[in-house]
Structure 1
Amino acid sequence: MASFRLQGFQSVLRGKSHLLRSPQRRWAQVHDVRFLASHHDPKYVMDKYRSKLDQKAKEEGHESVESLKEAYSDKIQDLRRKASTVATPEPNTVVPETPKAFHPPPPPQDQSATEHAARKVSGKTSPIKPLSTFLDVEKFRDLPPKEVEALWRLRHANSPTSICAVIPLETYQRIVSAAKHNPQFVLPLPRQIPTEEAQAKGTDETQSAAEMHFLQWAFHPPAEDFVAPPTASGETVNNHTSTVIFTNLGAFKMHGTYAQPHTTVTHYLDLADEKGLVLMLGQVVPDRGVSTSEATWLVSCVQRFYDFGGQASGRKGELVRMFTKGDVENFKVEELLEESERIN
């Protein structure tokens, strides 16, 4: 039996776990704190140093401290002027209020042609970058579905951090229907780790293990102002853009919603009405502990577990539902691992 390192999983599964709730944010109050410049009473200073001042006056041939002050009056005034500031003004002087300097707003940063097109097309309706900013959608509309799929894969073939796929509309609609009712889930990532004996002896013997990853669905308005072609029903399926983000479960347990995802997947429905295809594009963030091939495994598992009525018509779909309900008694991690490796 393979051994599995699954830390912090049970607390995530329970419906009352703090990880499935938005963390409480405590905002610190910022106060304007300034240094206070205080001036002592001159009489107090004179009384404190009276004996030393008398001695100084006698050494320089003055009859009293007052005559000593008169002799040094010019020097004292000069030192006061040099030491005076807005915060510590010279005594018995009025410091005029300094007008606040006017700082013009910084010039707008230059935007690339792609960013400009994205803002022009999508406006503020969706945070997703429109498909038309990196693909000539109009040309794709004139191509048959097989060529669309081939060109889409070829478009991202040379990117070492990209994951792409073309999903039939019918399959995508089943997946999205399940995702709206089950927006969160966990998936295991198989790994081979050295055994304790191998670490002690320095050998290459390994054992099977699994690293858990947390996924979250999100739905946004269409990424661009799309004008649907006329159809018999007058409706369009391009009414949203969906994303899936993957985060290491350990990082999510520690940081909650502030945890940095390692992979983000976006589904574009721009060609769904005409071609019956949904274009999927995933981006893997380098140096987040997951390679592109490992992220591809996790993305492929989404269809295996969310395609209710398709690949997930059996036990896989039941595991997703049990996770959503927080059914700790019936949700078995070992069964999750077995189902993730079983390809229908």
Structure 2
Amino acid sequence: MATVRTPALRHLAGIQARLTTPQRRWAQVHDVRFLATTQHRRSVIEKYRDKLDRKARAEGHADIDALKRAYADKIASLRREADVVVPPPPPPSPTSTSPSRSSGPSATTETATKKSTAAEGKEKGKKKEGAMIKPLSEIINLPKLEAIPSVEEITSIWRDLHSPDPRSLAAVIPAATFEHMSSLARTYPQFLLPVPHDDAGAEMHFLQWTWDAASRTSTVLFTQLAEYKARGEYAAPHTTVTHYLDLVDTKGVVLMHGLVAGDRGVRTEDARWLVMCLQRFYGGWEGKGRDEERRRLLEWFGRGDERFSVEKLLEEAERMG
């Protein structure tokens, strides 16, 4: 994950002290205090100072700074590789065929269309490995999908394509709604969201938006805040949600697919909650009520405004629950 250098996270180091009061429903909050990436790097240097000093002397350098300068190009190359975002791979082909909804000719045609469109898309998706973000055309047969007149049918095909994988999330979003979300996201690309746990308060998660013009996609990365604290810019996201914009002009919709990593300790239900909160905080507003409150929190966090507090964030998330 790329390093975050915005005001949004600068004031989080002091948030822990303001979270001593228990919440009404969530007993406590875990993993809130943020340690900046620069602090993370300094702690690593201090931990290995002796070894680095010995290596510097062994290679004829005056000190650790001289050693760092000598390896500057290699360090920069490794950081660029670490910043590459690996998108979710296409889901595996289903092992069994779902029965058609009815035995009539229309149902048979509908099922055949779904199978053909999804199967060809999966086959294409296998042909190109190593791409940063797979375009929609390599996941599903895009010309056939665009030829389907009904958005409801497109939605059904898209969901059926991903339903065999229990770690997948799939949805179809109206283009106007996503345009509003994306507009706000470009101004405020980072935010915090809580996941409530009945027996352990709420766990905080950090999200970051990215865009890839080549594949016509927008991706949201969700990472446990504890993971971000421990690893900084090298933290691995537990959920990756990609929005495909190919059908915006022809069908007026955006296809969304999310994938939850199986080894990050996050349940699919938790990821689904985070995506719902994402849509609520970045969604359409009418300028009043709770929607306006959520927008204020998003703006305050993005600007590093001291009026932002995790207590207020939890109150809003609690109302959504």
Q: Same fold (TM over 0.5)?
A: yes
Residue in 2 aligned with 1:137?
142
1:244 equivalent among 217, 220, 223: 220
- Counterparts of 1:130 and 1:324, CA distance in 2: 30
> Does residue 192 in structure 1 map to residue 198 in structure 2?
yes
SS in 1 for 2:128: helix
> Does residue 18 in structure 1 map to residue 36 in structure 2?
yes
> Does residue 325 in structure 1 map to residue 303 in structure 2?
yes
- Counterparts of 1:270 and 1:116, CA distance in 2: 20
Query: Which consecutive segments of 4 or more residues in structure 1 shift more than 3 A?
Result: 2-5, 19-31, 112-119, 310-313
- Give the partner amino acid of 2:176: E
Aligned residue pairs, count: 226
How far 1:21 sits from its partner (Å)? 9.6
- Counterparts of 2:275 and 2:138, CA distance in 1: 24
CA contact (8 A) 1:284 1:295 kept: yes
The within-5 A match list for 1:57-68 is none
Residue in 1 aligned with 2:181?
175
Residue in 1 aligned with 2:317?
340
The within-5 A match list for 1:130-279 is 130-143=135-148, 144-193=150-199, 209-223=201-215, 240-279=216-255
How far 1:290 sits from its partner (Å)? 0.6
- Counterparts of 2:123 and 2:251, CA distance in 1: 28
> Does residue 118 in structure 1 map to residue 128 in structure 2?
yes
CA contact (8 A) 1:178 1:308 kept: no
SS in 2 for 1:118: coil
Q: Deviations over 1:31-51 (max 9, x none)?
A: 9x9xxxxxxxxxxxxxxxxxx
- Counterparts of 2:278 and 2:137, CA distance in 1: 26
Structure 2-normalised TM-score? 0.62
How far 1:276 sits from its partner (Å)? 0.5
In structure 2, relative to structure 1, the CA distance for the partners of 1:307 and 1:340 (3 Å cut) is same
In structure 2, relative to structure 1, the CA distance for the partners of 1:254 and 1:295 (3 Å cut) is same
CA contact (8 A) 1:191 1:210 kept: yes
- Give the partner amino acid of 1:287: D
Structure number with higher helix proportion:
2
Residue in 1 aligned with 2:276?
300
Q: Identity over aligned residues, as a percent?
A: 40
- Give the partner amino acid of 1:317: R
SS in 1 for 2:198: strand
- Structure showing greater radius of gyration is 1
CA contact (8 A) 2:172 2:253 kept: yes
- Give the partner amino acid of 2:29: L
CA contact (8 A) 1:213 1:248 kept: yes
How far 1:117 sits from its partner (Å)? 3.9
Residue in 1 aligned with 2:29?
6
SS in 2 for 1:128: coil
SS in 1 for 2:29: coil
Structure 1-normalised TM-score? 0.58
How far 1:343 sits from its partner (Å)? 4.0
Q: Deviations over 1:207-244 (max 9, x none)?
A: x6101001011111231xxxxxxxxxxxxxxxx31100
How far 1:116 sits from its partner (Å)? 6.5
- Counterparts of 1:162 and 1:139, CA distance in 2: 23
CA contact (8 A) 1:184 1:216 kept: yes
